[in-house]
Structure 1
Amino acid sequence: MLTVMNREHDVVVYGATGFVGALTAAYLARHAPEGVRIALAGRSADKLAATRAGLPPAAREWPLVVADSGDPVALAALAASTRVLATTVGPYARYGLPVVEACARAGTHYADLTGEVLFVRAAIDAVHELALESGARIVHACGYDSIPSDLGMLLLHERAVADGAGPLTDVRLVATVRGGFSGGTIDSLRAQIEAYESNPGLRRVAAEPHALSPDRAAEPTPAQPRDAGMPSRAADGTWQAPFVMAPFNTRIVRRSNALLDWAYGPELRYGEVMGAGQGITGALMAAGITGGLAGLVGAMSVKPVRGLLDRVLPAPGTGPSEQARAKGWFRSVLHATTSSGRRYRATVAGPGDPGYAATAVMLGQSALCLALDDLLQRSGSLTPATAMGRPLIDRLRLAGHTYDVTAA
């Protein structure tokens, strides 16, 4: 097992010249403890210097590291220079695997913002054993994909255990947000559709409910809720629609359960939807969300139409203004039932546009957690819950996010 103690940097933000990368760097400049050694990395020295010049004063002396994801020598040197590498360079299916491999070989802890099932599956297959040997924690999904889901489930599990309520059997997350699609999210969707076109069999891989399980054949869980469908109405009268992030978040939560030897519950059924409100307004909103999501995916699946959409959809590396980001928020409520019939409700919420402002907080705190906190001795391809767990929850609470569990 390699040591990460004697490295030149504590944290490197890779992709710092991109929109979310720069937001993450700015967050770290404002909130990282004094003495934490942070560097910025990317493909262009000039762009890195310009990004650094626009950051808060604490970043003025941060080192700059030039490394292209297509240059294995530069990536190896980058990974070996730091204890933690936080990367925002996507789509990860195109650019991410060499970065993951460099970190796994160097014993460097890694955090990303991916929401791509196929990339995470490929990374697990490529580096899990290597990271086990080197001691690297490879942690995917350290942003709005999928920290609220993953850590919310961990909270529910801890509360059920403390109460002696038995394993979790059914959990449904209801998400409400104020925010917009990021250019990176659109680009990731585009990359996944292009992957399906080149290899239709990959669609079946992504659709498998346990696509990210360490051992899919050993999964004891029953049939899982569908990720898509028609609008529905909950028992409290709230209308619900398919949640665009459910096909990814649910796989991360199920991987956490499997990595913990199905401690959440061997019979766990976990699903996610988007809350749309009550009454006729809620019904119309649910119908609009459902139709809009289906329309976007359908249009992106047609090559000529995809080219037209590129002219109007957010481009990679772009995002809303600071004022618009500040008006955003997210709220995820997880409704749970245990084998004993006990019911719980976990709430995970925070200010700021979830795909930008809130995600910068989550990734920034994940990087600091991996670099500074006393964590359980785990390595390999992990999830936020299994790699960081309670220490990350504590950090995010201090950063202004809500993590609560109550008996329902």
Structure 2
Amino acid sequence: MSGQREFDIVLYGATGFVGKLTAEYLDRRGGDARIALAGRSTDKLLAVRESLGEKAQSWPIISADASQPSTLNAMAAQTQVVVTTVGPYAKYGLPLVAACAAAGTDYADLTGEMLFIRDSIDLYHKQAADTGARIVHSCGFDSVPSDLTVFALYRRAQQDQTGELTDTNMVVRAMSGGLSGGTVASGIEMFSTVSADAEARKAMNDPYTLTPDRAAEPELGGQPDIRWRRGGEVSDALDGYWLAPFVMAGPNSRIVRRSNALLDYAYGRRLEYGELMSVGRSVVAPVAAALATVGNAATTAFASRYFNRIPRSLLERMVPKPGTGPSEQVRDNGHYTVETFTTTTTGAHYRARLSQRGDYGYKATSVLLGECGLALALDRDKLADLHGVLTPAAAIGDALLARFPSAEVSLETTRLD
């Protein structure tokens, strides 16, 4: 396909906040990749290009608009990979997925919207598999750290011949940054749908809502997204800590379970996966964990049923707007560290620790998305022989692990026993 296409990567949505950051990253890390910038406004795209380095000044500009599918079709036919930051994806994403699936073009996005991903699977997985397209959702902070730490643990246990993964939990140990306007807008779209549709609420609560075949999944219980635990219940390395629910556990956990299913349950059919965040080990930590759990549960329950009763104009005044973001200083000073713990079927205990400098919602996310796009375009000999609607681990797991060190994404696995 690479010899038949004009571009290796088209960055769609390059004028948005994360889009600009991704363009800057591709300018630094793209090497000789053939890259183009795409979006609705040619003038704004030209302004973004002018802000980049000398090499990027020759990048072509493509006019494309989600409201005009023919422009998306033409864009997809020109390139090997489309990297998109245009959300909310439930509102704008499916026409581009359709264009890429039809053209046999690989695709990477930043979505954490479970219902959009489910629609993408139902509508376009078979077609993408037939045309050889890889439609890879959730290529940012949602859900690369989750997906790739579990994949790395699987590879480590496979190397050590210590069996399959069982009880596995990601714990956010530290994070500094801000929630992006795009993420908030995606959340608004999702809860608007869920509060109006009982079937959508049911899908949101199913731990296997993104699975390729629901009937084939093992019955391991509800695997709740909202829970609190003592650290020692997860790993001896966390003894004394208290753990509260992590706000993105819902979409992240379902991406991990879909990865396992797409990889023919290589992680193991007894894999149970959850996500939490550390609230420390002080005397008030258990209270903080309990309050966070109750608050998270109450907010989710209310939003799932009554969100549409909140005036949209009020919401838009209260939340950051799409396309906005923090200052360069805040982005540069941000960071996060996650640790994923697992126990294998032979009783071996492991930890995978992933950390990144940069604000998780913007700078770090643009690095992850950029590397996913570059892996799809340039590392095709390292990609899994899978096509259709995929996940980062299932599509580009090994290629991404190989790219992490030079991208200053630290990921190490440690045996704890």
- TM-score (norm. length: structure 2): 0.93
**For residue 159 of structure 2, what is the aligned residue in structure 1?**
162
The Cα shift of 1:224 comes to 4.3
Contact 2:340 2:351 in 1 (8 A): yes
Counterpart Cα distance in 2 of 1:291 and 1:310: 26
Residue in 1 aligned with 2:272? 269
Task: Specify the SS of the correspondent of 1:60.
Answer: helix
| Native 8 Å contact 2:196 2:308 kept in 1 | no
Considering only aligned residues, what root-mean-square deviation do their CA atoms show, in Å? Answer: 1.7
CA contact (8 A) 2:195 2:201 kept: no
* Kept in 2: contact 1:221–1:268 (CA 8 A): no
Aligned-partner SS, 1:377: coil
Aligned residues, how many? 404
CA pair 153-320 structure 1, distance change in 2 beyond 3 A: same
State whether structure 2 residue 373 is matched by structure 1 residue 370: no
Q: Give the CA deviation at 1:56.
A: 2.9
Task: Please name the residue that 2:259 is paired with.
Answer: 256
**Structure-1 residue corresponding to 2:202:** 204
Q: Does 1:7 align with 2:5?
A: yes
Q: Note the 1:239-250 alignment, pairs <5 A.
A: 239-250=242-253
Report deviation, 1:19. Answer: 0.5
How many Å separate the matches in 2 of 1:398 and 1:79? Answer: 29
SS of 2:350's equivalent in the other structure is: strand
Asked whether 1:37 is paired with 2:34, we answer yes
Aligned to 2:283: 280
Distance 1:40 1:284 in 2: 49
Q: 1:192 aligns with which of 158, 177, 190?
A: 190
- 1:158 match: secondary structure: helix
Counterpart-to-counterpart distance in 1, 2:286 and 2:133: 47
Residue 182 of structure 1: which of 169, 177, 180 is its match? 180
Give the stretch that moved more between structures: 193-202 or 132-141. 193-202
2:319 alignment partner AA = L
Query: 1:233 Cα deviation (Å)?
Result: 2.6
Instruction: Quote the offset at 1:293 in angstroms.
Output: 4.3
- Please name the residue that 1:352 is paired with: 358
1:388 aligns with 2:391: no
Q: Amino acid of the residue matched to residue 405 of structure 1?
A: T
1:152 counterpart letter in structure 2: T
| Secondary structure of 2:223 counterpart | coil
Asked whether the 8 Å contact 1:4–1:108 carries over to 2, the reply is no
SS of the aligned residue for 1:309 comes to helix
Q: CA deviation at 1:283?
A: 4.0
One of 329, 336, 351 as aligned partner of 1:330: 336
Partner Cα distance (2:284, 2:359) in 1: 23
Is the alpha carbon distance of 1:177 and 1:289 closer, same or farther for their aligned partners in structure 2, counting shifts above 3 Å? Answer: farther
**Counterpart secondary structure, 1:271:** strand
In structure 2, relative to structure 1, the CA distance for the partners of 1:183 and 1:292 (3 Å cut) is: farther
Indicate if the aligned counterparts of 1:68 and 1:75 stay in contact, CA closer than 8 A: yes
1:280 deviates by: 3.1
Deviates more, 1:362-371 or 1:196-205: 196-205
Q: Which residue of 2 aligns with 1:94?
A: 91
Instruction: Give the match for residue 342 of structure 1.
Output: 348
**Corresponding position of 1:401:** 409
- CA distance in 2 between partners of 1:251 and 1:330 (Å): 21
Query: CA separation in 1, counterparts of 2:17 and 2:243?
Result: 31
Is 1:143 matched with 2:140?
yes
Whether contact under 8 Å (1:224, 1:269) holds in the other structure is no
Letter in 1 for 2:268: G
Give how far 1:380 is off. Answer: 0.9
Contact 2:195/2:308 (<8 A) preserved: no
| Paired amino acid for 1:317 | G
Structure 1 portions without partners, runs of 5+: none
**Is the contact between residue 111 and residue 142 of structure 2 (CA under 8 Å) also seen in structure 1?**
yes
| CA drift at 1:366 | 0.6
Amino acid at match of 1:215: D
Q: Could you tell me how far apart the structure 1 residues matched to 2:49 and 2:284 are?
A: 45
TM-score, normalised on structure 1?
A: 0.95
Unaligned runs of 5+ in 2: 233-238
From 83, 107, 110, give the equivalent of 2:107: 110
